[in-house]
A and B are shown apart, each in its own frame.
Chain A
Amino acid sequence: MPSWPEKRTFIGSHTTRVDGPAKVSGTAKYPSDVQPDGWLYGMILRSKWAKAKITNINLEQALKVPGIKAAVVDRPGERTVRYYGEELAAVAGTSKQACLDALRLIQVEANPLPFVVREDDAKEDSSPRVWDDTPNLSKPRVNEKGEVDKAFGDCSAVVEGFYTTPVQLHHPLETHGNTVSWTDEGLTAWSSTQGIGSVKDGFAGNLKVPQSQVRVITEYMGGGFGSKFGQGAEGSLAARLSKEAKAPVKLFLTRFDESLAVGNRPSSFQKIKLGATADGKLQAFELESYGTAGIGSGGVSEGGGGGAEFPAPYIYTVPNIRVKQSGVNIDAGSARAFRAPGHPTASFGMESIMDELAVKLGVDPLELRLKNDPSEVRRKEYQIGSERFGWKSKYKKPGTSSGPLKTGVGCAGATWGGGGRGTQAEAHINPDGTIEIRCGTQDLGTGTRTLIALIAADLLGLKPEQITVRVGDTQFPPSGGSGGSTTAASVSPAIYDVCTKARTELQSKTGVSLVEADIWFAACKKLGVNPLVVSGEWQEGLSSSGAGGVQFAEVEVDIETGFTRVKKITCVQDGGLIVSKLTCESQVNGGILMGIGYALYEERIMDRLSGVVLNPNFETYKLTGLADAPEIDIVLLDMPERGVIGIGEPVTIPTASAVANAVANALGVRVPSLPITPARVLAALAGKSVTTPSA
């Protein structure tokens, strides 16, 4: 079984990102920056109806606009559109202005149909059906074990709650899109994607192009968070426009488009009941939930593929449970995987009711968790975190903070699977001593390129700057999509393997022993003219799955304005073998700040009467800003014996729960709905219901 070297110079070090210089100087070319000769601008016409039968789309006038080179209908013939923003047609032209003019001239004949865009409306039988042959509310997925009713009867403390979470939008800063060149020779796409392999497959399948003629390139990309695994309707449209116009087409969504049609985190409405013994051991749990994944709801996905279900009772083990989860269709864009699908949603409901139970039992919520959390790693993390955070001195009974600025603290834990396998890689050792590592993975900004350079440097006995890392091209040996926090654990072992083999082969081929570092160039010189090319692949024993983490939050809530400020987050996270310390810590920051957005700001709002998304921009859909960033204290538990694990998702899971618990601790009343807006805080203080949507 292979193992990571005991002596590690660069692995685990504080080395800066290898693509930092390109990113800070504007020379990094993102798919939206690439400009092949003769490229055209592409734009999409979207449905302005929440639901309608489209009978005809006429492109004639649009094609007459000066500069317009091609126009295509998304799906020819009669069709039904099922949400505001569904793709209808697309145009390509020499300027954005030509496209804007052309889109206005496309004539669409449509018969509007009744629609429904709110979960509570949609689940009623009397509401219009999103899909004619299925009720909007799916049959519940049921999970039952033990004797739930009897167990509740035996409990000393029983608490009940109703918790809701919003539809959250991914909003990567680089919108979804591709620059595509499709000629008789084949299709090349510069895609803003998390999975060059799945995009290649998507283009080939959707457009009936042999896979041997499809190449996908993603040198850089501006964020995905789970929403960018396919070529998308926008990719297929760009390709068709390219073929028709006989020119490359760059088609990237507008921010408005981005809010409608390219994924979201499903909402949840969770009715929870939890019972425990007098000394706080969990005995019985009951959950009934529904949520929407838009038009794509209803499928059971275990929270993995964008469905409305989620794990329950999340990280806790309860002997008697009854779980019923449904999805409810509405006329809105489909959900997609979103950073730790299902988990932040699951965590919010469960960790909220845990704190309610602590209140009922009159115990410290941290003690209740230590008593019931089955994970030894997490219990240790709670201990480390509570000391650093100063939990003992900061925790006060709920609502006992004085003055109009109430402070409070809360905590929550998380789990994530991760793992990953199946990556191949190639090392090219050149006679001049330079090295290229080629791997068909992609760097989403998580630091994959840097991770490869650090591993290669350690295993080859060189420095990271001597390694040229090439990723993001389907002509390189294949890897998987970057999702599920699997990239690090999938790529690292392949780099280990290829570098170990390269070193051995270089020695045997040249007869030079590589014990000393300065012998490297002498050895390479002996290769002659051609490089030594070595292949490697993922090996068992160098990575693992499973990651536990806990977070503590301290908040300040102004009970006059209802405004919540997060003052501090302490995060203790299992990091496995930490490969790139700097980028790993950045991931933790990012997860927490996105979690704060989920806790306090983010919510897609649908208009019941018109069926439109009311906040398709950053003025009204709020992201966490720099001024909202709290003090963040990060502790990474180094566990090299576990090998490499992923960290991007687990760190975003418990933030919102910890913040919500801190708000409840500050106020003495709970705001049971995310996001915790000022309006909801004030309503909760006034004893009013706050679980209805914001608008």
Chain B
Amino acid sequence: MNDPNPEDGLFVSRRSFLKSFGTTAAAAATAQVEVVAQELQKANAERTLGPGAVPLTLRVNGKSLQLELEPRVTLLEALRNHSNQTGAKEVCDRATCGACTVLMDGTPIYSCSKLAIEAQGHEITTIEGLAKDGQLSAVQQAFIEQDGLMCGYCTPGFVMSVTALLRKNPKPTAEQVKHACAGNLCRCGTYPRVMQAVFKAAGLPVASKTEVIPYAKLA
């Protein structure tokens, strides 16, 4: 998953700082790690936040959300624990399972690994924001029709990843679906039907090999 526009955030990011620092080789930069740290500290000095709660504004599903949170609170916690939007799930809390996937300016991100303060100024879309006027999206509908879910705990994450994929690539191949969902885990084993749901939502043919044979008719 891409890290969208780190340069737009409140802080001078490590990357943009290193850029401004010049095109020094990594080894040289490492040698000057002390200087780097000092420069970063200086750059961020006027904007030091926390450790106490700070006011912040999030744009979630088209609405503004005013919160007061410690800077170390993640976007996932801000959504789940501080504004009762529990569609995104906390499963691993370290960017390995994708159950917390939300869209940030249209790009899928792990909300467990994005600080809420860093998400300011971006449009966040969660699973709760996909249905329009009570109408489920084509992706959501396809997950139901193909049974791309069982316990459902990973489902919001998969739906978000697939939504982002189809917006960018309306007719994906199986390989492209695998790539887009590589950051999402399911323990119940819905994968074959997640794949079918993506094809269904994309208007592509869905192949499913299952058959019910009446035992009584067997020789």
Contacts and interface: CB of A to CB of B under 8 A. Distances in A.
Interface of A: 12, 16-17, 19-30, 32-33, 35, 41, 95-97, 171-175, 220-223, 225, 252, 254-255, 377, 380, 384, 444-447, 574-575, 578, 581-583, 585-587, 589-594, 617-619, 623-627, 629, 631-639, 641
A37 to B, nearest CB: 11
Given A96-B81, A223-B188, A589-B191, A26 B209 contact: no
Interface in B47-101: 70, 72-73, 77, 80-81, 84-94, 96-97, 99
A105 B9 CA distance: 33
Interface of B: 70, 72-73, 77, 80-81, 84-94, 96-97, 99, 126-128, 130-131, 136, 140-141, 143-145, 147, 149-156, 159, 177-179, 181-182, 184-195, 209-216, 218
B99 A632 contact: no
Contacts of B186: 173, 626
B153 A174 contact: yes
Residue from A12, A25, A221, A635 whose CB has the most chain B CB atoms within 10 Å: A25
A445 B93 CA distance: 22
7 contacts: A24-B127, A26-B128, A27-B87, A30-B86, A95-B81, A627-B179, A633-B209
A191 B48 CA distance: 41
B81 A41 contact: yes
A592 B189 contact: yes
A17 B149 contact: yes
B191 A222 contact: no
A626 B181 contact: yes
Given A16-B145, A619-B94, A636-B210, 18 more contacts: A20-B149, A21-B144, A24-B152, A30-B89, A95-B81, A173-B186, A173-B187, A223-B150, A223-B153, A445-B150, A445-B153, A575-B212, A586-B190, A593-B191, A624-B189, A626-B186, A637-B212, A641-B216
Nearest to B72: A97
B191 A16 contact: no
A16 B144 contact: yes
A445 B149 CA distance: 8
A446 B81 CA distance: 28
B78 to A, nearest CB: 11
Given A173-B186, A626-B195, A25 B91 contact: no
A638 B210 CA distance: 13
A550 B206 CA distance: 26
A586 B126 CA distance: 26
B70 A95 contact: yes
A635 B108 CA distance: 37
Contacts of B188: 223, 445, 586, 590
Contacts of A627: 178-179, 181-182
A356 B59 CA distance: 62
A106 B189 CA distance: 40
Contact of A25 (B80, B140, B181, B182): B140
B212 A581 contact: yes
A173 B185 contact: yes
Contact of B152 (A252, A445, A636): A445
A221 B151 contact: yes
A271 B208 CA distance: 41
B147 A17 contact: yes
Nearest to B210: A634
Contact of A632 (B77, B96, B192): B192
Contacts of B209: 631-634
A172 B213 contact: no
A623 B185 contact: yes
B93 A173 contact: no
A174 B151 contact: yes
A29 B80 CA distance: 12
A589 B153 contact: no
Contacts of A95: 70, 73, 81
Nearest to A26: B87
B130 A590 contact: no
Contacts of A35: 84, 86
A626 B154 contact: no
Contacts of A255: 91-94
A593 B182 contact: no
Interface centre among B92, B184, B187 (most CB of A within 10 A): B187
A561 B97 CA distance: 26
Nearest to B86: A33
B211 A636 contact: yes
Given A35-B84, A384-B213, A24 B144 contact: yes
A118 to B, nearest CB: 27
A253 to B, nearest CB: 11
Contacts of B216: 639, 641
Nearest to B84: A35
A356 to B, nearest CB: 30
Contacts of A24: 127, 136, 140-141, 143-144, 149, 152, 155-156, 159
A133 to B, nearest CB: 38
A645 to B, nearest CB: 12
A378 B212 CA distance: 16
Contacts of A220: 151-152
Contact of A173 (B94, B136, B145, B151): B151
A174 B189 contact: no
A634 B151 contact: no
